[in-house]
Chain A
Amino acid sequence: GDSVTQMEGPVTLSEEAFLTINCTYTATGYPSLFWYVQYPGEGLQLLLKATKADDKGSNKGFEATYRKETTSFHLEKGSVQVSDSAVYFCALIRGSRLTFGEGTQLTVNP
């Protein structure tokens, strides 16, 4: 079945550092891919998406590119802020059903 694997956390960075959170997936066909962010005590917010190979999703300085050849959708940001501290989830969708990775806790220190 479908699965999503994220890099293990937690990840701790200093403000303005470069961020990469790795995500790979296993699925038949070409599902749409998403990154969601969860702030403490809240639900998940859609951060960005990509619907086909080589698509680049971007939002709020975050980017991720749908790589079919490596079945990856790594999240990147060039300069993180303290307000980016949250849990990040990579996900794919098939038939209206989201499959999530385990989540990566990001802490950004001033």
Chain B
Amino acid sequence: NAGVMQNPRHLVRRRGQEARLRCSPMKGHSHVYWYRQLPEEGLKFMVYLQKENIIDESGMPKERFSAEFPKEGPSILRIQQVVRGDSAAYFCASSPKEGNQPQHFGDGTRLSIL
């Protein structure tokens, strides 16, 4: 019974490069959420997606960040032209339906910017 799978677990990029973070939801879950955890802080909502649709991206920075959840394959969080301030742990969660449902989290991708 595989849980939410994220890869890579650790990602190192130099300033100006692109970072791609992947998330495969739990089997049977069609709702995906991305959260960011900055050092010594709680998690902050970034974006909520269903298959092929972005439902709520109000937590996403306006520039350089994008997310998708294609019909086939994992959800992707993409950060272009990374800067030091992007260093954080990025967590993906999934749920079987929307609403006040518990979300199940992956182990996260720890992004470090040199």
Contact = CB atoms under 8 A, between A and B. Distances in A.
Interface in B67-98: 91, 93, 95, 98
B100 interface: yes
A25 interface: no
Interface string A40-69: 011111100101000000000000000000
A31 to B, nearest CB: 7
Q: Max chain A CB contacts within 10 Å: which of B48, B56, B102?
A: B102
A82 to B, nearest CB: 22
B6 to A, nearest CB: 8
Contacts of A34: 102
Interface residues of A, number: 24
Interface string B33-45: 1010000011111
A96 B98 contact: yes
Contacts of B107: 41-43
A99 interface: yes
A100 interface: yes
A96 B95 contact: yes
Contacts of A101: 42
Interface of B: 4, 6, 31, 33, 35, 41-45, 48, 55-56, 59, 91, 93, 95, 98-108
25 contacts: A32-B100, A34-B102, A36-B105, A42-B107, A43-B105, A43-B106, A44-B43, A44-B91, A44-B93, A44-B105, A46-B102, A89-B43, A93-B103, A95-B98, A96-B33, A96-B48, A96-B101, A97-B45, A97-B48, A97-B56, A98-B93, A99-B45, A100-B35, A100-B42, A101-B42
